[in-house]
Amino acid sequence: MTQPIHKAIVPAAGLGTRLLPATKSQPKEMLPVGRKPVVQYVVEELQAADLTQILIITGRRKRAIEDHFDPDPVLLSALEQAGNEAVLAELAYIQRKSRFFYTRQSSPKGLGHAIALGADFVDNEDCVVALGDSLIAGEDPAAPLRAMMQAHRELKAAAVVAVEQVPPDEAHRYGIASIQGSEPPPGEPVAMTDIIEKPPRGTAPSTLAVAARYVFSPAIFEALARTLPDRQGEIQLTDAIKLLIQMGQPVYAWLLRPDQRRYDVGNFESYFRTFIDFALADERYGYLARQYIKAIAYEL
Ligand code: G1P
């Protein structure tokens, strides 16, 4: 029987150029969405899926990510002395049972190159990849990963890749998957027949966009090592997945269910949308946000 997966790689090395000046000196993964930075949602999702060893691929100007998951004894004892139990509870995420590992991608050579830096960490096991600028909303944000890991195990897959339907005029922004058949059932693995990274406008073979969560067997590292850089000199994870398919390895797409929405903070439009939805849904302050939006709605 295969071992349960317990390792995850979170690439968080991207420069965040589409979010300048907000990302001039802070990582985009640390932008707040409601009361937490984006990367905390990602880590909590991984922890809820029992992924206890987490490698974050960072880079220059990304040190705040390490600090965020590092216990701060001075802050903790100040809060304890003040008897500030409520705020202490907000910091409980640091104490959860997971180990963090960090390595840097020093030059922008692409997502595939960043993941390849995790090869020694993964050490010939299966692993999860969760992009650090994307979060999954829903009742149980870890549900897609749990189901994808189960499918990966049962099908002895080389890769199970989360996908979501996107409008045709947005397909050029994503990795786009082709599958067997036309309409994939949500929440079930479907064999992937091809994949292409950011197809030129109007040429996408489908509207199934890669949705920032992946489960891989170690074969992905072999494929990454054989993947050539694209025109921008970047090694794309999508191209390595394409190579897995060409090598005859079993690769599956897994369509998120309608209640499992993915948000990303890669540009201001999607960041604003993400912040607004999470602020409105906040269990503590959401009603204030909703009141405010209703009050100003007539001016919009
Ligand atoms: C990356 C992947 C792309 C995927 C997207 C999802 O692109 O390369 O295949 O669809 O994440 O967020 P990026 O957004 O980093 O350009």
* CA 120 from centre of chain: 21
Global pTM value: 0.95
The predicted pLDDT at position 218 comes to 97
pLDDT beyond 70 at 189: yes
pLDDT beyond 60 at 6: yes
pLDDT for 129-160, tens place per residue?
Answer: 999 999 999 889 999 999 999 999 999 999 99
Residue 209 Cβ contacting ligand 1 at under 6 Å: yes
pLDDT beyond 90 at 95: no
Euclidean distance between CA atoms 267 and 275, whole angstroms: 12
Residue 112 Cβ contacting ligand 1 at under 6 Å: no
**How large is the greatest C-alpha to C-alpha distance in the chain, in angstroms?**
62
- Sign (positive or negative) of CA dihedral 268, 239, 245, 128: negative
Least confident of 121-130, 150-159, 176-185: 176-185
The predicted pLDDT at position 86 comes to 86
The predicted pLDDT at position 1 comes to 52
pLDDT beyond 90 at 60: no
Considering just the CA atoms, what is the radius of gyration of the chain in Å?
A: 19
pLDDT for 17-26, tens place per residue?
Answer: 999 999 999 9
pLDDT beyond 80 at 33: yes
The predicted pLDDT at position 3 comes to 80
Pick the atom of ligand 1 nearest to 197's CA.
9
How is residue 7 written in tokens?
């390792």
The predicted pLDDT at position 85 comes to 87
Euclidean distance between CA atoms 102 and 87, whole angstroms: 27
Residue 136 Cβ contacting ligand 1 at under 6 Å: no
Which of 133, 166, 174, 176 most suits a substitution to test ligand 1, by most atoms within 8 Å of the C-beta? 174
Compute, in angstroms, the gap from residue 89 CA to the centroid of ligand 1: 34
Task: List all residues 6 or more positions away from 292 whose beta carbon is below 8 Å from its beta carbon.
Answer: none
Residue 210 Cβ contacting ligand 1 at under 6 Å: yes
Domains annotated on the chain, with CATH: 7-299 (3.90.550.10)
Task: List all residues 6 or more positions away from 9 whose beta carbon is below 8 Å from its beta carbon.
Answer: 54, 55, 57, 115, 118, 121, 122, 127, 128, 129, 130
pLDDT band per the 50, 70, 90 thresholds, residue 180: confident
- Angle formed by the axes of helices 237-246 and 219-226, to 10°? 110
pLDDT beyond 60 at 292: yes
The predicted pLDDT at position 96 comes to 79
The mean pLDDT of 57-68, rounded to a whole number, is 93
The predicted pLDDT at position 67 comes to 94
pLDDT for 239-291, tens place per residue?
Answer: 999 999 999 999 999 999 989 999 999 999 999 999 999 999 999 999 999 99
The predicted pLDDT at position 142 comes to 97
Pick the atom of ligand 1 nearest to 238's CA.
9
Which of 23, 173, 210 most suits a substitution to test ligand 1, by most atoms within 8 Å of the C-beta? 210
